[in-house]
Amino acid sequence: MASTSVGCATPGCTNPITKPLACPKCMQMGVRNVFCGQQCFKANYAQHKQIHTLLQQMGGGGGHRKTPPDGIVCPLDSPQEVKTALPTWAKSYNFSGDLRPALLSPKRPITNTKVRKPDYATHVGGVSDSEQRDRASNNNIRVYGPDELEGECNLRYATKMGREVLDEGGKALRVGVTTDEIDRVIHEASMERDCYPSPLNYYNFPKSVCTSVNEVICHGIPDYREVQDGDIVNIDVTTYSRGGYHGDLNETFCVGNVDADGRRVVQTAFECLSSALGMVKPGTLYRDLGSTIHRVAAANKCSVVRTYCGHGIGSLFHTAPNIPHYNKNKAKGVMKEGHVFTVEPMINLGSYDDLTWGDNWTAVTRDGKRSAQFEHTVLVTKDGCEILTARENEPVMKWDPDLIQR
């Protein structure tokens, strides 16, 4: 069997690899990082093991980042009773709440030849080699300058396109529509703007957008289930521009007659993000955002999810810094002008504890109570921040329940 030509995972090592030694922890997470030998592996392990935490939190490791199982897809023209049947994995699964998945439509193709694909788009495991290299060798937070922010298809453009695409998905949301239809709208809106929908095939995520309903915290996979009156639905969009930049944002919508608790958690999630963004300026410690988010959530008798976090973004989908949203976290780093990152607190009505469904992606509350989230990509400016994914004519977040009512 022919071997694959790879380099040693130790930064700067140029030794030839004749008998590759794979990191066993990385292999468990579905990523193959190899070393030239045992000596190099031991000498670099203290630095290398930081990758394991990043893989678990930012995409590329752990059970929720594996390829979805078989028995979950059926054609668009299948009978309704087939489409709404439980996936194979779900037939014996012990769900924490009332929501149940349906089957998925086939993966949607990239039909626009102008679309630039990220490196993971065609990778069999959906692995981003550029992110892997960044995690292994870079501990610095990137500073973006005017050349990267401005101009055709650059970072500011990518975030603007993300905003437009999310707005299109939000317009399509209503009682009776399937989240698969939302995925179709998002996918086609991305194609129309010469953008790649960043979630598609990222560590084998099968769809172009995440749709998280009721007790789903994040990473919900669009399927043939119809949205019901009273549901809260989060639509999480990321677009990748022809210039090679990602723009990431999400909003939670109230569909039909949502009860008081549902509206409370949605408004709390909005206010948690708004309060955190009010702190963003040069000199702020990244870890301090969690304290503000915690205070707002606790004042509204809600909790803050601890498993998932905000992240640096730009030419990479996920990179430094790592931004936890909970109180007393140990995030490293100080904000500087030119930093670009997401803040995306996930707020629960009940406990902050989470589970992952058997599709290996969908994160849900352990107690089955509802969860809500809002997200923006922001740029640190000289004396504050710019919300790159802001709604039109809304430079500062303002709560308006009519804008999220469907």
Q: What are phi and psi of 355, to 5 degrees?
A: -130, 165
In this structure, what DSSP letter does residue 220 have? P
CA–centroid distance for 359 within its chain: 16
For residue 161, which of 207, 195, 112 has the smallest C-alpha distance? 195
Tokens of 401: 């329940």
Q: What is the pLDDT of residue 84?
A: 96
Q: What is the pLDDT of residue 60?
A: 42
**Predicted structure pTM score:** 0.84
313, 342 Cβ separation under 8 angstroms: yes
Q: What are phi and psi of 64, to 5 degrees?
A: -80, 5
Within 8 A by CB and 6+ apart from 119, the residues are 128, 129, 130
Dihedral angle, C-alpha 381, 387, 388, 394, nearest 10 ° = -130
Buried b (16+ CB within 10 A) or exposed e, 144-173: beeebbeeebbbbbbbbbbbbbbebbbeeb
* Local confidence pLDDT in tens for the 406 residues of the chain: 111 234 577 766 766 555 567 676 665 555 556 677 788 778 878 777 766 665 554 444 443 345 777 789 999 999 999 999 999 999 999 999 999 999 999 999 999 999 999 999 999 899 999 999 888 877 789 999 999 998 788 999 999 999 999 999 999 999 999 999 999 999 999 999 999 999 999 999 999 999 999 999 999 999 999 999 999 999 999 999 999 999 999 999 999 999 999 999 999 999 999 999 999 999 999 999 999 999 999 999 999 999 999 999 999 999 999 999 999 999 999 999 999 999 999 999 999 999 999 999 999 999 999 999 999 999 999 999 999 999 998 888 999 999 999 9
Q: What is the pLDDT of residue 69?
A: 75
